[in-house]
Amino acid sequence: MSLEIKHFNLPKAELIFVPDFYSPSVSQKLYDYLYSSIKWQHDQIKVFGKVYDQPRLTALYAENNKPYSYSNIVMHPHQFTDELLEMKQKIEAFSKEKFTTCLLNLYRTGQDSNGWHADDEKELGKNPVIASLSFGTKRKFKMRRKDNTKEKFELELTDGSLLLMKGETQHYWHHQIPKTAKKITPRINLTFRNIQ
């Protein structure tokens, strides 16, 4: 059986979406493992001098000790677990890319979110490839052009799916996970990155 692979041809973005990267039964096991075994933390962020609780839990894992900084937060990695390493290897085999680091997000309810941003920190290099795995409740993933916010795109990130963002995507587009008023159970997201 072959995997369904969708290519979205947006101007100045390269997106590849694999809806069934993991089967429903494997996804359920991975969700349970991640929910209970990842060392989730709840950081505060500073926006225009004011301090807020980040609207989700996060964790950083890596094969090296290199920290990752964004939104005034510096995260220091835990060492990869066997399960995370296995996921990393499966994504590397599919994408023919290498990843050093995984930033995990736990969206506990519909009120948890991730605001407009690009994954364009300089430690990610010029045209970073970001591999994003989703487990649990599906959430909307929105994109909009940095230079024309009317130009938009959206996608549902479903359980067991893989989204690859490549090429110039981070230069030209912002992305977000908006809040939703729906009563929903959690979603776990893993973004694999290469930090040099």
Interacting residues toward Fe ion by CB under 5 A:
119
Residue (1 or 185) nearer to ligand AKG, CB: 185
Q: Which of 75, 102, 162, 177 binds ligand AKG (CB under 6 A)?
A: 177
Residue (1 or 94) nearer to ligand AKG, CB: 94
Question: What's the CA gap between 50 and 185, in Å, rounded?
Answer: 29
Contact between 78 and 7 under an 8 Å Cβ cutoff? The reply is no
Q: Which residues contact 36 (CB under 8 A, 6 or more apart)?
A: none
Question: What's the CA gap between 16 and 29, in Å, rounded?
Answer: 24
Residue (85 or 118) nearer to ligand AKG, CB: 118
Is residue 114 near ligand AKG by the rule CB under 6 A?
yes
Question: What's the CA gap between 54 and 114, in Å, rounded?
Answer: 9
Is residue 54 near ligand AKG by the rule CB under 6 A?
no
Greatest Cα pair distance in the chain = 53
Tokens of 146: 């940095």
Residue (81 or 176) nearer to ligand AKG, CB: 176
Query: 157 touches which of ligand AKG, Fe ion, none (CB within 5 to 8 A by kind)?
Result: ligand AKG
Give the interface with ligand AKG as residue ranges (CB under 6 A): 103, 105, 114, 119, 132, 141, 157, 175, 177, 189, 191
